[in-house]
């Protein structure tokens, strides 16, 4: 079955760190760019970060640049998001998403989504 399983969310204090994981199965993980998209409670979608299929190129939203790091391990079919210096406004459901080929290195659509993992930043 083609699926993404997000994990690693939880309650963390402001200024703390958390690492999210996304396990992929049912498709050739190393062939696709991947992304993280978040959704604050009761709010809309916000793109967070993307990574090329090889992991050689990474992209970040201004709101997380310098604090979050996206990475992948193609041997383990797993995507990661290291989140440091967390703030209350980072509280959200974080989805990993697969990017279909678009022909462009920095144009991404999201055609397969995980169920999301909830990150709550609070003291």
Partner 1 sequence: QSALTQPASVSGSPGQSITISCTGTSSDVGGYNFVSWYQQHPGKAPKLMIYDVTKRPSGVSNRFSGSKSGNTASLTISGLQAEDEADYYCCSYAGSSTYVVFGGGTKLTVL
Q: Which residues bind partner 1 (CB under 8 A)?
A: 37, 44-47, 50, 59, 61-62, 95, 100, 102, 104, 106-111, 113-116
Measured from the CB of residue 69, what is the shortest distance to partner 1 in angstroms? 17
Locate all alpha helices (DSSP H) within 39-108, ordered by sequence: none
What tokens appear for 100 in the block?
Answer: 């279909």
Measured from the CB of residue 113, what is the shortest distance to partner 1 in angstroms? 4
Rg (alpha carbons) of the chain, rounded to whole number: 14
Measured from the CB of residue 41, what is the shortest distance to partner 1 in angstroms? 12
Nearer to partner 1 by Cβ, of 15 and 100: the residue is 100
State how far the Cα of 63 lies from the Cα of 76, in Å rounded to an integer. 29
Contact 94, 85 (CB under 8 A): no
């Amino acid at each position: 079955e083609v699926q993404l399983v997000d994990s690693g969310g939880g309650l963390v204090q402001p200024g703390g760190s958390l690492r999210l994981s996304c396990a992929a199965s049912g498709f050739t993980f190393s062939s696709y760019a991947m992304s993280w998209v978040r959704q604050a409670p009761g709010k809309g979608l916000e793109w967070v970060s993307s990574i090329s299929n090889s992991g050689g190129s990474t992209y970040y939203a201004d709101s997380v640049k310098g604090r979050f790091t996206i990475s992948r391990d193609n041997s383990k079919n797993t995507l990661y998001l290291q989140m440091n210096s967390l703030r209350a406004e980072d509280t959200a459901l974080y989805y990993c998403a697969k990017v279909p080929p678009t022909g462009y290195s920095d144009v991404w659509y999201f055609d397969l989504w995980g169920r999301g993992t909830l990150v709550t930043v609070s003291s």
